A and B are shown apart, each in its own frame.
Chain A
Amino acid sequence: MSAFEFSHVPLDTQALQASLQDPASGGYASFEGWVRDLNEGRAVKHLEYEAYEALARKEGQRIVEEAITRFGVRGARCVHRIGDLGLGELAVWVGVAAPHRGEAFAACRHIIDEIKHRVPIWKKEHYTDGDSGWVNCERCAAPTVDGHHSGSEQGHHHDHQPAPLTAPVSPHDSPVPDYSRQIVLASVGVDGQKKIRAARVLVIGAGGLGVPVLSYLAGAGVGVLGVMDSDPLEASNLHRQTLYSLQDVGRPKALLAAERLRALNPDVDVRPYVQRADASTLPTLAAGFDVLVDCSDNFRTRFLVNDVTVTLNKTAVIASVYQYEGQIQVIQPGSACLRCVWPTATRDGLVGNCAEAGVLGPVPGVLGAMQALEVMKVLLGTRSPAENAVVLFDLQTLQTRRLKASRSADCPTHCSGNDLAEAKPTDRGILENGPLIDSLDRARALGLAIIDLRDEQEVTQEPLWVLHRHIPLVRLLDDSSVLDQSTGYLLVCTKGLRSSAAVSTLRERGHGNVYSLVGGIAGLKERSTPR
Chain B
Amino acid sequence: MTAIHVQYYAILREQAGKSAERIDTSAATAAALYDELATRYAFTLGRSQLRVAVNDEFCEWTTLLSEGCQVVFIPPVAGG
Contact = CB atoms under 8 A, between A and B. Distances in A.
A351 B15 CA distance: 12
A357 B11 CA distance: 9
Nearest to B54: A403
B47 to A, nearest CB: 10
Given A344-B48, A352-B11, A299 B72 contact: no
Contacts of A321: 77, 79-80
A126 B60 CA distance: 57
A403 B73 CA distance: 11
Interface stretch (A169-177, A206-214, A376-384): A206-214
Contacts of B77: 320-322, 325-327, 351
B76 A403 contact: no
A325 B9 contact: yes
Instruction: Please tell me the size bucket of the interface on B.
Output: 20 to 34
Interface residues of A, number: 45
Contact of B80 (A297, A341, A344, A405): A297
A233 B56 CA distance: 39
A109 B19 CA distance: 66
B49 interface: yes
B53 interface: yes
B22 interface: no
Nearest to B70: A401
Contact of B9 (A205, A298, A392): A392
A167 interface: no
A319 interface: yes
B6 to A, nearest CB: 13
A302 B78 contact: yes
Contacts, number: 101
A499 interface: no
A297 B72 contact: no
Given A351-B45, A392-B9, A346 B53 contact: no
Given A341-B51, A351-B45, A403-B58, A346 B75 contact: yes
Given A344-B49, A403-B72, A404-B57, A352 B78 contact: yes
A354 interface: yes
B79 A364 contact: yes
A362 B49 CA distance: 28
A405 B58 contact: yes
B75 A351 contact: yes
A214 to B, nearest CB: 13
Contacts of B72: 392, 401, 403
B56 A348 contact: no
Contacts of B74: 390, 392, 403
B28 interface: no
B63 to A, nearest CB: 13
A403 B80 contact: no
Given A322-B10, A401-B72, A353 B49 contact: no
* Most chain B beta carbons < 10 A, residue from A208, A209, A401: A401
A138 interface: no
Nearest to A405: B58
Given A403-B56, A404-B58, A325 B10 contact: yes
B80 A207 contact: yes
A433 interface: no
Contacts of B75: 346, 350-351
A350 B45 contact: yes
Contact of B78 (A297, A392, A401): A297
Interface in B24-77: 45, 48-49, 51, 53, 56-58, 72, 74-77
A351 B76 CA distance: 8
A299 B56 contact: no
A402 B55 CA distance: 10
B80 A209 contact: yes
B76 to A, nearest CB: 5
A396 B14 CA distance: 13
A234 to B, nearest CB: 15
A48 to B, nearest CB: 45
A427 interface: no
A207 B53 CA distance: 30
11 contacts: A298-B78, A299-B78, A320-B76, A320-B79, A322-B78, A341-B51, A346-B75, A351-B11, A351-B45, A404-B53, A404-B56
Interface of A: 205, 207-210, 294-299, 302, 319-323, 325-327, 338, 341-342, 344, 346, 348, 350-354, 357, 359, 364, 390, 392, 394, 396-397, 401-406
Given A346-B76, A351-B45, A405-B57, 8 more contacts: A342-B51, A350-B45, A350-B75, A390-B58, A392-B72, A394-B9, A404-B56, A406-B58
User: Nearest 7 CB-CB pairs, A to B?
Assistant: A322-B77, A297-B80, A354-B79, A321-B79, A404-B57, A403-B53, A209-B80
